[in-house]
A and B are shown apart, each in its own frame.
Chain A
Amino acid sequence: SYDLTQPPSVSVSPGQTASITCSEDKLGDKYVSWYQQKPGQSPMLVIYQDKKRPSGIPERFSGSNSGNTATLTISGTQALDEADYYCQAWDTSHVVFGGGTKLTVL
């Protein structure tokens, strides 16, 4: 089966850079999307096709994907970025989500 592995939690200080990884064998061969979910809210797309930002998503959100690891990077992290983040990929016509990473802005 296809599993996307994320760290359960990441902590970052305000203004610093947060990196959240998503790993699977040969993940770089697939497109990865990232979703942000705040408590009590629906998920929101923040990165698609590895590195593209939807309209309205701040430039501090960026993505990359190579080898076995995709990375979501948040530069100049703000308190409002505190949320759960999920990576997602597409494998043999089936969608798979990572287990999610709780980003804490200390």
Chain B
Amino acid sequence: QVQLVQSGAEVKKPGASVRVSCRASGYTFTAHYMHWVRQAPGQGLEWMGWFNVNTGGTNYAQKFQGRVSMTRDTSIGTSYMELSSLTSDDTAVYYCARDAGLAALAIMDYWGQGTLVTVSS
């Protein structure tokens, strides 16, 4: 069965960077795009971007351009999202979510369990 397992919670200081991992299993890793979505405490879902796992191509939301990087290691079936220059506004649960299509269809059919990132001095 398809599973996305994310790395554990992180506590970071303002100005630091964080990298969240998402290990995929149960399907062909390079056949599906991966999205990253975050959710601040008590707030709604916010799309950060998608990542072409096969080619390494990216499409970042304008809000995060210049500050986010999405990569992968195909040898271990893992995607990564790194966010830099953290502020308290980046405190959120970060999710990876698989795109259902072989191209980017923006249909997120499987989600990781979420990773809480807390930014605090």
Tell whether A pairs with B: yes
Q: Which residues of A contact B (CB under 8 A)?
A: 31, 33, 35, 37, 42-45, 48-49, 54, 86, 88-90, 93-100
Residues of B within 8 A of A44 (CB): 111
Contacts A94-B47, A97-B45, A100-B45 given; indicate if A45 touches B109 (C-beta within 8 A).
yes
Contacts A42-B114, A94-B61 given; indicate if A49 touches B45 (C-beta within 8 A).
no
Q: Which residues of B contact A (CB under 8 A)?
A: 35, 37, 44-47, 50, 59, 61-62, 95, 97, 100, 104-109, 111-114
Contacts A42-B95, A48-B100, A86-B45 given; indicate if A95 touches B113 (C-beta within 8 A).
no
Q: Is the CB of B95 within 8 A of A95?
A: no
CA distance A84 to B90 in the complex (A): 22
Residues of A within 8 A of B50 (CB): 95
CA distance A37 to B1 in the complex (A): 21
Residue of B nearest to A90 (CB): B106
Residues of A within 8 A of B114 (CB): 42
